[in-house]
Structure 1
Amino acid sequence: MVGRYGVDELTRFILLLDCLLMVFSLLLRNSVMNFICIFLILLCYLRMFSKNYSQRFKENQMYLKYYDRFANKYASVKYAIQQHGIYHIYKCPSCKQKIRIPKGKGKISITCPKCNKQFIKHS
């Protein structure tokens, strides 16, 4: 492997996707999926044995950019779901800033930290 690119995150993702497609291919007995699986395996080998470091690095960086965007969106949704049981999330009527208020406090006056506007909500 001296002088070759090797395995990176994109190659690992393609191999994982290929394994999942192989399982579905075995269950569905679809020849088109078999060809897709073979193509993905060949793509992984071509990436691993490539000597074009700069192009493989650019491809991996693009994959990581999209992966991070997806992971951040997933983490924010997961965090919002966890907070939903403990807090109410209200938006300020004037500036639309999100404000987190603990549940079970009754009717309270809320002051927006951004614009200092006060409004009354049920918690």
Structure 2
Amino acid sequence: MAEPTLYLIDRVVLRPGAAPAFIDAYRTGYVPSARARGLTLERILVSPPVWIDGETNTVTATWTVSGTTAWWAAAVRGRHDPAPAQWWESVASLIVERSRSMASRAEDVAGLCDV
């Protein structure tokens, strides 16, 4: 039986005008280390999908990992590596607020609860 896909969703509200710089920094500075921890970048979305002077943008990055074992492995690697926290600190001046959440397909929840 295939492992369920888990989704990690980074939601970052950026200061007006900061989204392009943040996205570039995310792709070049954060993405490679997250991939090395076992995560797969599914997509980066920008809302609203336009640069408007004086307005914020929200960047939503969706990561995937196959199953709970791979998720725990990635989480442990991240907790023992200071680089992710250092990277987030390096871009803190661009950010209004940020959050990370986890999700799965509705069909997979019951199996994920059976631990």
Q: Shared fold by TM > 0.5?
A: no
Identify, as 1 or 2, the structure richer in strand.
2
* Structure number with higher helix proportion: 1
TM-score by length of 2: 0.25
Q: Which has the higher contact order (CA 8 A, sep 6+)?
A: 2
- What is the TM-score with the length of structure 1 in the denominator? 0.24
Mark the structure with the bigger radius of gyration.
1
